[in-house]
Amino acid sequence: MPEPQPSAAVVAARTRRLADFAGRLRMASTLASRAVLAPVYRAYTVRLRAEVLARPVPEHVALIMDGNRRWARQLGGGAGIGHRHGANKAIELLDWCSDLGIREVTLWALSLENLDRAPEEVELITEIARQTLTALSERDKVKRLEMSLRVIGRRELLPDRLREAAERGEAETQGRPGLRVTLALGYSGRDELVEAARAAIRTLVAQGVPPDGLPDALTAEQLEAHLYTRGSSDPDLIIRTSGEVRLSGFLPWQSAYSEFYFCEAYWPAFRELDFLRAIRTYQLRGRRFGR
């Protein structure tokens, strides 16, 4: 008698397991290749770090951490692998910034548009973000960075557990004098400008400005005072990974005079060497602020 054929669900499960195993093999091969070259990269990184520290470093660096899914896909793994490695890289980055004396870092971790992805991926991303917030607090205790954390974006749209983790992280680190870290979650630059304009108009109305006087009463300073980032400096340098050459709505107001650096590496593969190259490129540019 012919053997019974496995069901479509069984075949699909086997295929997924094989694809995941193949992805892990490719990842192991990539890591092995890096291990061989590690001494060379380490020596170059040490030399480049010394070169960067010999010049003024930017006060505020912002990053668009892009390419988690593509990095994982390239290695044959699922999106979760990319997001987890990306979260670990963000924690690692804060050590690099602290070592260079950078005072402020803004990380775009979750866009408003990301919340429209498939429910299972949104759940995965938000859970990893929640774990990362907790890990940042624990890392701060170990490394003694005296880091203060702020979360910006439409936090009312975030899942409850992530929103609670954000509020807890802010409360636990409030007022610390060290590295200032801003995490953009559920963030949209257009949304920020619309919300700031609405808040500024409400303030003017509360001050007694009549409706026909609002257009002339609204100033750049009043709008800026209602941005999510109020109280922070504008970023000196904005870095985007993954080879995409656009800001995608990241800090449209604050980036007016920022320097941009676009890196080909996907975010999980971003090395300290890549970061130092971005800082060195910034240092070699002449900033004129429109003058």
Contact yes or no for 141/105 (Cβ under 8 A): no
Question: Which residues neighbour 245 within 8 Å (Cβ) at sequence distance 6 or greater?
Answer: 262
State how far the Cα of 173 lies from the Cα of 217, in Å rounded to an integer: 37
* Active site annotation includes 66: yes
For helices 272-283 and 79-100, give the axis angle rounded to 10 degrees: 50
**Parallel, antiparallel, or unpaired for β 259-262 and 148-152?**
unpaired
**β-strands 237-240, 148-152 pairing:** unpaired
CB 250, CB 62: distance < 8 Å: yes
- The one catalytic residue in 88, 114, 191, 274 is 114
The residue written with tokens 């609204």 in the block is 218
In the chain, the amino acid numbered 234 is D
Among candidate residues 63, 100, 85, the one with its CA nearest the CA of residue 235: 63
How far is the C-alpha of 97 from the C-alpha of 58, rounded, in Å? 10
Of residues 66, 140, 234, 236, which has the active-site annotation?
66
Q: Residue 234 catalytic?
A: no
Catalytic residue annotation = 66, 114
